[in-house]
Amino acid sequence: MDALGRLTPEAFAAAGKLPLRFVLDNLRSGLNVGSVFRTADAFRLEGIDLCGYTARPPHRDILKTALGATEHVAWKAHETTVEAVHGLQAAGFKVFALEQASASVSLEQWSPLASERWAVVLGNEVRGCSEDVLNAVDGVLEIPQFGVKHSLNVSVAAGMVCWQAYGSMGTPGG
């Protein structure tokens, strides 16, 4: 690992972060939550908001896929997703949902700036984002899809959002 130049957990805590948070809206699978923690670690995100019945560390399934990322990726628990959205907006975040909806912005057209703070809501694996959440957010991002199924695994979608944010904002803290 030394040859890879990876950060220690202490250096991760002190390092600049990509100004992006994920808001997990009632995710059913702890394995998905753990995978989002790993993605948040890989892109050095500001943190994760765990809402509703989304599993929280140290849940066994989260730990299985997070591989220790829960120890240094910042996270907060919220009773409801709408509460988290309003709190983030009050703190200066632009909050978008990732969903298939009218008037959405295609992910490749999203160009967040490093000087902005963003949060992206990832919806439930079956139902997506609730109507209440869609009414509370500032906008909607959508990943174009061309197959039979019209959804992606939430952790795959999280990775795609991070890649687009990184492409637009650049290296975290850089």
Give me the residues of the chain with pLDDT under 50, please.
none
Return the C-alpha torsion angle 86, 91, 12, 52, nearest 10.
Answer: -10
pLDDT tens track for 156-167:
999 999 999 999
Domains held by the chain: number: 1
- The predicted structure's pLDDT at residue 53: 98
CATH number at residue 52: 3.40.1280.10
Q: Which domain holds residue 76?
A: 2-169
Position 163 in a domain: yes
- The predicted structure's pLDDT at residue 15: 96
Position 174 in a domain: no
pTM: predicted TM-score of the whole model, two decimal places: 0.96
User: If you search the block for the tokens 């944010």, which residue do you land on?
Assistant: 165
Give residues with Cβ within 8 angstroms of 66, minimum separation 6.
Answer: 33, 34, 35, 37, 38, 57
